[in-house]
Protein backbone atom coordinates (compact mmCIF):
# COMPACT_ATOMS: atom_id res chain seq x y z
CA UNK A 1 0.00 0.00 0.00
CA UNK A 2 1.59 3.27 -0.99
CA UNK A 3 1.06 5.98 1.61
CA UNK A 4 -0.20 9.29 0.29
CA UNK A 5 -0.84 11.39 3.38
CA UNK A 6 0.05 11.96 7.01
CA UNK A 7 -2.64 13.37 9.29
CA UNK A 8 -1.32 15.01 12.42
CA UNK A 9 -3.20 15.56 15.62
CA UNK A 10 -2.39 19.10 16.76
CA UNK A 11 -2.44 19.42 20.58
CA UNK A 12 0.36 17.33 22.06
CA UNK A 13 1.85 16.40 18.67
CA UNK A 14 2.68 19.64 16.83
CA UNK A 15 2.35 21.99 19.79
CA UNK A 16 2.00 21.56 23.53
CA UNK A 17 -1.18 23.25 24.72
CA UNK A 18 -1.75 20.66 27.47
CA UNK A 19 -0.76 22.97 30.31
CA UNK A 20 -3.09 25.73 29.09
CA UNK A 21 -6.02 23.30 28.88
CA UNK A 22 -5.15 21.98 32.32
CA UNK A 23 -4.99 25.41 33.98
CA UNK A 24 -8.26 26.58 32.43
CA UNK A 25 -10.09 23.41 33.51
CA UNK A 26 -8.53 23.64 36.98
CA UNK A 27 -9.75 27.23 37.33
CA UNK A 28 -13.26 26.22 36.28
CA UNK A 29 -13.21 23.24 38.68
CA UNK A 30 -11.97 25.40 41.58
CA UNK A 31 -14.69 27.96 40.95
CA UNK A 32 -17.35 25.25 40.86
CA UNK A 33 -15.82 23.31 43.78
CA UNK A 34 -15.31 20.22 41.63
CA UNK A 35 -12.59 17.63 42.13
CA UNK A 36 -9.95 17.85 39.45
CA UNK A 37 -6.29 16.95 39.11
CA UNK A 38 -3.65 16.08 36.52
CA UNK A 39 -4.71 12.42 36.40
CA UNK A 40 -8.26 13.43 35.41
CA UNK A 41 -6.77 15.93 32.98
CA UNK A 42 -4.90 13.10 31.22
CA UNK A 43 -8.26 11.53 30.40
CA UNK A 44 -9.22 14.66 28.45
CA UNK A 45 -6.50 14.19 25.82
CA UNK A 46 -8.08 14.16 22.36
CA UNK A 47 -11.58 14.47 23.82
CA UNK A 48 -13.90 17.33 22.76
CA UNK A 49 -14.58 20.30 25.04
CA UNK A 50 -18.10 19.23 26.04
CA UNK A 51 -17.10 15.61 26.56
CA UNK A 52 -14.17 16.82 28.67
CA UNK A 53 -16.56 18.77 30.87
CA UNK A 54 -18.82 15.73 31.16
CA UNK A 55 -15.82 13.66 32.37
CA UNK A 56 -14.91 16.32 34.97
CA UNK A 57 -18.48 16.56 36.27
CA UNK A 58 -18.82 12.80 36.36
CA UNK A 59 -15.62 12.55 38.42
CA UNK A 60 -17.35 14.62 41.13
CA UNK A 61 -20.68 12.85 40.67
CA UNK A 62 -22.29 16.12 39.53
CA UNK A 63 -24.99 16.49 36.88
CA UNK A 64 -25.88 19.85 35.39
CA UNK A 65 -28.43 21.16 32.92
CA UNK A 66 -27.16 21.44 29.31
CA UNK A 67 -27.36 25.27 29.44
CA UNK A 68 -25.20 25.40 32.58
CA UNK A 69 -22.71 23.01 30.97
CA UNK A 70 -22.55 25.22 27.89
CA UNK A 71 -21.86 28.26 30.11
CA UNK A 72 -19.05 26.51 31.98
CA UNK A 73 -17.47 25.20 28.79
CA UNK A 74 -17.53 28.62 27.23
CA UNK A 75 -15.98 30.19 30.34
CA UNK A 76 -13.19 27.63 30.28
CA UNK A 77 -12.68 28.27 26.59
CA UNK A 78 -12.37 32.03 27.16
CA UNK A 79 -9.59 31.45 29.74
CA UNK A 80 -7.94 28.92 27.45
CA UNK A 81 -8.05 31.32 24.50
CA UNK A 82 -6.49 34.06 26.64
CA UNK A 83 -3.50 31.79 27.20
CA UNK A 84 -3.30 30.90 23.49
CA UNK A 85 -2.40 34.54 22.92
CA UNK A 86 1.02 33.67 24.41
CA UNK A 87 1.74 31.01 21.76
CA UNK A 88 4.47 31.81 19.24
CA UNK A 89 6.34 29.83 16.54
CA UNK A 90 8.86 28.96 19.30
CA UNK A 91 6.21 26.66 20.79
CA UNK A 92 6.22 24.26 17.84
CA UNK A 93 7.40 20.94 19.30
CA UNK A 94 10.87 19.60 18.46
CA UNK A 95 11.10 17.72 15.19
CA UNK A 96 7.81 19.00 13.73
CA UNK A 97 9.22 21.38 11.13
CA UNK A 98 11.94 19.06 9.80
CA UNK A 99 9.33 16.30 9.54
CA UNK A 100 6.82 18.46 7.66
CA UNK A 101 9.60 19.56 5.36
CA UNK A 102 10.77 15.99 4.67
CA UNK A 103 7.21 14.83 3.99
CA UNK A 104 6.65 17.67 1.57
CA UNK A 105 9.91 16.82 -0.21
CA UNK A 106 8.67 13.22 -0.58
CA UNK A 107 5.37 14.39 -2.08
CA UNK A 108 3.32 13.18 0.91
CA UNK A 109 0.23 15.30 1.60
CA UNK A 110 -0.26 16.59 5.13
CA UNK A 111 -3.33 17.46 7.17
CA UNK A 112 -4.41 18.31 10.68
CA UNK A 113 -7.01 16.05 12.33
CA UNK A 114 -7.90 17.66 15.66
CA UNK A 115 -10.87 17.59 18.03
CA UNK A 116 -10.22 21.23 18.85
CA UNK A 117 -12.40 24.11 17.69
CA UNK A 118 -9.37 26.36 18.27
CA UNK A 119 -7.11 24.49 15.81
CA UNK A 120 -6.98 27.28 13.21
CA UNK A 121 -6.21 29.93 15.84
CA UNK A 122 -3.37 27.77 17.15
CA UNK A 123 -1.96 27.12 13.66
CA UNK A 124 -1.97 30.84 12.95
CA UNK A 125 -0.24 31.63 16.26
CA UNK A 126 2.54 29.09 15.67
CA UNK A 127 2.87 30.05 11.99
CA UNK A 128 2.30 26.57 10.53
CA UNK A 129 -0.99 27.06 8.69
CA UNK A 130 0.59 26.95 5.21
CA UNK A 131 2.25 23.60 5.83
CA UNK A 132 -1.06 21.73 5.81
CA UNK A 133 -3.05 20.85 2.68
CA UNK A 134 -6.18 20.40 4.81
CA UNK A 135 -7.40 21.15 8.33
CA UNK A 136 -10.11 18.87 9.79
CA UNK A 137 -11.06 20.07 13.26
CA UNK A 138 -13.75 20.20 15.92
CA UNK A 139 -15.81 22.64 13.85
CA UNK A 140 -16.34 20.18 11.01
CA UNK A 141 -17.43 17.09 12.91
CA UNK A 142 -20.30 15.82 15.01
CA UNK A 143 -18.59 12.92 16.77
CA UNK A 144 -15.24 13.35 18.48
CA UNK A 145 -12.35 10.83 18.77
CA UNK A 146 -12.40 7.81 19.27
CA UNK A 147 -14.94 8.12 16.44
CA UNK A 148 -13.05 8.17 13.11
CA UNK A 149 -15.04 11.13 11.72
CA UNK A 150 -12.29 13.78 11.97
CA UNK A 151 -9.70 11.59 10.21
CA UNK A 152 -12.14 10.50 7.50
CA UNK A 153 -12.94 14.18 6.95
CA UNK A 154 -9.22 14.95 6.64
CA UNK A 155 -8.79 12.18 4.05
CA UNK A 156 -11.81 13.48 2.11
CA UNK A 157 -10.46 17.04 2.15
CA UNK A 158 -7.11 15.75 0.89
CA UNK A 159 -8.80 13.62 -1.78
CA UNK A 160 -7.10 10.38 -0.69
CA UNK A 161 -8.52 7.05 0.47
CA UNK A 162 -8.27 6.34 4.23
CA UNK A 163 -6.12 3.23 3.80
CA UNK A 164 -3.31 5.34 2.33
CA UNK A 165 -3.16 7.62 5.41
CA UNK A 166 -0.96 7.57 8.49
CA UNK A 167 -2.15 9.30 11.67
CA UNK A 168 0.22 10.72 14.29
CA UNK A 169 -1.40 10.96 17.73
CA UNK A 170 -0.62 11.53 21.42
CA UNK A 171 -4.01 10.26 22.70
CA UNK A 172 -5.47 6.78 23.12
CA UNK A 173 -8.77 8.09 21.78
CA UNK A 174 -6.93 9.36 18.70
CA UNK A 175 -5.17 6.06 18.04
CA UNK A 176 -8.51 4.26 18.35
CA UNK A 177 -10.03 6.76 15.90
CA UNK A 178 -7.21 6.21 13.41
CA UNK A 179 -7.66 2.45 13.53
CA UNK A 180 -11.43 2.80 13.17
CA UNK A 181 -10.78 4.91 10.05
CA UNK A 182 -8.64 2.11 8.59
CA UNK A 183 -5.46 4.18 8.89
CA UNK A 184 -2.01 3.41 10.26
CA UNK A 185 -1.67 4.75 13.83
CA UNK A 186 1.58 6.23 15.10
CA UNK A 187 1.71 6.94 18.85
CA UNK A 188 3.92 9.77 20.13
CA UNK A 189 4.42 11.32 23.56
CA UNK A 190 1.76 10.14 26.01
CA UNK A 191 0.59 7.51 23.48
CA UNK A 192 4.04 6.11 22.65
CA UNK A 193 3.46 3.00 24.77
CA UNK A 194 -0.12 2.39 23.75
CA UNK A 195 -1.01 -1.10 22.49
CA UNK A 196 -3.14 0.66 19.87
CA UNK A 197 -0.10 2.16 18.14
CA UNK A 198 1.19 0.39 15.01
CA UNK A 199 4.49 2.18 15.59
CA UNK A 200 5.71 4.73 18.09
CA UNK A 201 8.23 7.43 18.94
CA UNK A 202 9.00 9.55 22.01
CA UNK A 203 8.42 12.69 19.94
CA UNK A 204 8.68 13.87 16.34
CA UNK A 205 12.49 14.02 16.45
CA UNK A 206 12.36 10.22 16.59
CA UNK A 207 10.22 9.82 13.48
CA UNK A 208 11.24 6.64 11.64
CA UNK A 209 9.65 7.86 8.44
CA UNK A 210 10.29 4.78 6.31
CA UNK A 211 8.63 2.61 8.96
CA UNK A 212 5.73 5.08 9.43
CA UNK A 213 5.04 5.18 5.69
CA UNK A 214 5.45 1.42 5.12
Q: Which CB, 6 or 136, lies closer to ligand BG6?
A: 136
d(CA 35, CA 201): 33
Site string for ligand BG6, 9-48 (x = CB under 6 A): -xxx--------x----------------------xxxxx
Q: Taking Cα atoms as reference points, which of 138, 173, 157 lies closest to residue 44?
A: 173
Q: Taking Cα atoms as reference points, which of 96, 98, 102, 106 lies closest to residue 4?
A: 106
d(CA 172, CA 81): 25
d(CA 166, CA 70): 34
Binding of residue 49 to ligand BG6 (CB under 6 A): yes
* Smallest separation, CB 214 to ligand BG6 (Å): 27
Contacts of 161 (CB under 8 A, 6+ apart): 155
Site residues for ligand BG6, window 135-194 (CB under 6 A)?
138
Is 137 a known active-site residue? no
Q: Which CB, 112 or 164, lies closer to ligand BG6?
A: 112
Within 10 Å of residue 171's Cβ, how many Cβ atoms? 27
Task: Give ∠ CA 79-95-199 in degrees, rounded to 5.
Answer: 100
Site residues for ligand BG6, window 52-111 (CB under 6 A)?
52, 77
* Smallest separation, CB 154 to Mg ion (Å): 14
Is 18 a known active-site residue? no
Q: Which CB, 4 or 44, lies closer to ligand BG6?
A: 44
Binding of residue 4 to ligand BG6 (CB under 6 A): no
Catalytic residue positions, numbered: 9, 11
Interface residues with ligand BG6 (CB under 6 A) are 10-12, 21, 44-49, 52, 77, 114-118, 138
Amino acid sequence: MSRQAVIFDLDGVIVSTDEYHYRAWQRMADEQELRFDRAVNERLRGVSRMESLAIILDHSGVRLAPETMAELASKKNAWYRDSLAQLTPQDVLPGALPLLSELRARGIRQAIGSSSKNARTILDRIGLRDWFDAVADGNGIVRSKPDPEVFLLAARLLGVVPETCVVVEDAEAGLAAARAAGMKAVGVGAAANSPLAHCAAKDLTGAALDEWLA
